[in-house]
Amino acid sequence: MATQSEISKLAVFNETVFFLIAHLRLWTREGDSTGGATGVTATSVADVHSILFKCKNEFCPFFHCERPKSLGDDIKACHDQHDTAHAISRYKLGVINEDRLISLFKDLCLIDAPSLGEKDCVAWTKKYIQDIGWECWEDEGGKAIGGNANNLIVKVPGNKPGAPRIFFSAHFDTVEPTAGLVIEERDGVFYSASDTILGADDKAGMAPAIEALRAIQEDGQEHGDVFLLFSCAEEIGLKGAAAMKLDEYNFAYGFVLDTGPSVGTFVNRTAFHDKLDITVYGKPAHAGKDPEKGINAIYVASRAIAQMKVGRISPNTTSNLGIISGGTGVNIVCPEVFIRAEARSTDVAELDEQVNHMIKLFDEAATEAQTTVKIDHRRHYDAYIVEETAPVIQTAQRAAKNLGLEGSLRVTLGGSDANVFNSMGIPSIVVATGMDKIHTHDEFVSRADLLKTTELAYQIILEAAR
């Protein structure tokens, strides 16, 4: 229920659609309780716009309206007079509890959750979910992947028979430890003020998923079964999701809240991803006494690497040398070098070409130096494409449109749990959350984008059940 002080917070006018929607939510319940039906039924942002545009009140706050923007407490009078809240209520814009959302997001970020060490975060989340009154359980994923925590599965049964069963997914773990995190909010944007990362990847997915579902229930909306799949060890190779056993759930489709801006865009296409572990063998010898008796593995590896195409290979393809280690002493001709490399592409032929190029250079350098190399090459995960006509995309795009968002589709070379779910035969797309500069100390996410993501998840639940 909105208070007068909350309403007066709206004095600052903002022309963007989202600002309007986010704040109009505050009136929705009041509109329900005061009634005053106008007979207007709004089913889209365009409808709402036209309803609001007809408002002749001189203090009308709504977008595209030429009226004065100075509102103050008169905003409530405008609301009462024109039944806008009623129209918005009919339009079913969710009443998102912003304070609760932000505090959930921060609480989740503040729990240290490195990959394979997510136990505390899983336990905290489980209790939070149980306190809401939802059924949740851990699977046995932790054992399978060698972590200290299991994946967490949450079930919220639907109240609309026949509606498709959907899920939202996000991951617990962060790329680096977040122990000692201090969160700082500057101009409505959350950053890490400590040496750690913020860990918005992927708490900016978890918090909106939970809060959207909570708002749907509190608003008494009709929905199908909605599950939350919170995974462990995503960052080190989608391990938690891969250990999930989802056959028996019969999901129609799912949404993975785990990519960067802008909110309202979706990833429906990702890359094939190959990994290479390369061991170049040399021959040890004393560096001062008998260097001619040795074969320097660092030198051999360098000969291969110096000729190698790395980085951006084409618009579809990338490659990287990520880890190199070797050597036993400065006075010893290096006997062995280990290199971990990868390549990604949306085009499997291009990927194969790049990987073969890398392997060939190591082979040639080893042969030239009369030594050997061992290469372990494996496909880390397969690409996926979800067709634009698929219900999962149609649902997401309708939801985005409801909020005046673009709903465009994009491709990424990054992997996510959606790769795993698609490989299990469950059509899944990645939903942008607004988290940015992820995997760096400069990572951030804005309050507005957390709210917008929650609004979007709310609309997805509604649209899936339509």
Residues 344-363 that bind Zn ion (CB under 5 A): none
Residues 225-244 that bind Zn ion (CB under 5 A): none
Catalytic annotation present for 248: no
Per-residue contact flags (x/-) with Zn ion for residues 68 to 107, judged by CB under 5 A: ----------------------------------------
Q: 3-class SS at 47? A: helix
The residue range among 11-19, 190-198, 202-210, 399-407 that interacts with Zn ion, by the rule CB under 5 A, is 202-210
> Which CB atom, from 72 or from 322, has the smaller least distance to Zn ion?
322
Q: 3-class SS at 373? A: strand
- CB of residue 342 to Zn ion, shortest distance in Å: 17
The burial of 268, by beta-carbon neighbours within 10 Å (0-12 exposed, 13-18 middle, 19 or more buried), is given as buried
- CB of residue 241 to Zn ion, shortest distance in Å: 11
> Which CB atom, from 336 or from 417, has the smaller least distance to Zn ion?
417
> Which CB atom, from 90 or from 171, has the smaller least distance to Zn ion?
171
Give the DSSP per-residue string, 224-250: --EEEEEESS-TTTSHHHHH---GGG-
Asked if 30 is part of the footprint of Zn ion (rule: CB under 5 A), the reply reads no
Among 30, 98, 118, 202, binds Zn ion (CB under 5 A): 202
- CB of residue 294 to Zn ion, shortest distance in Å: 44
- CB of residue 203 to Zn ion, shortest distance in Å: 10
Q: Give the integer Cα–Cα distance in Å for 223 and 465.
A: 5
Q: Give the integer Cα–Cα distance in Å for 152 and 213.
A: 16
Q: Give the integer Cα–Cα distance in Å for 242 and 175.
A: 18
The answer to whether residues 96 and 454 touch, using CB atoms and an 8 Å cutoff, is yes
> Which CB atom, from 83 or from 234, has the smaller least distance to Zn ion?
234
> Which CB atom, from 123 or from 236, has the smaller least distance to Zn ion?
236
Q: Give the integer Cα–Cα distance in Å for 52 and 46.
A: 10
- DSSP class of residue 9? G
Which is it for strands 428-432 and 317-326: parallel, antiparallel or unpaired?
Answer: unpaired
Quickly count: other Cβ atoms within 10 Å of residue 1's Cβ.
10
Asked if 417 is part of the footprint of Zn ion (rule: CB under 5 A), the reply reads no
Catalytic annotation present for 382: no
Residue in 357, 361, 362 with CA at minimum distance from that of residue 280 = 362
- 238: its two tokens: 């989608």
Asked if 201 is part of the footprint of Zn ion (rule: CB under 5 A), the reply reads yes
User: Of 234, 336, 449, 455, which residue is the catalytic one?
Assistant: 234
- Dihedral sign, CA of 112, 115, 120, 123? positive
User: Of 74, 118, 139, 173, which residue is the catalytic one?
Assistant: 173
Q: Which residues contact 284 (CB under 8 A, 6 or more apart)?
A: 294, 328, 332, 333, 334, 335
- CB of residue 113 to Zn ion, shortest distance in Å: 12
The residue range among 53-61, 145-153, 194-202, 342-350 that interacts with Zn ion, by the rule CB under 5 A, is 194-202
Residues 107-136 that bind Zn ion (CB under 5 A): none
> Which CB atom, from 296 or from 416, has the smaller least distance to Zn ion?
416
Residues 244-273 that bind Zn ion (CB under 5 A): 258
- CB of residue 416 to Zn ion, shortest distance in Å: 6
Residues marked as catalytic:
173, 234
Residues interacting with Zn ion, by CB under 5 A? 201-202, 258
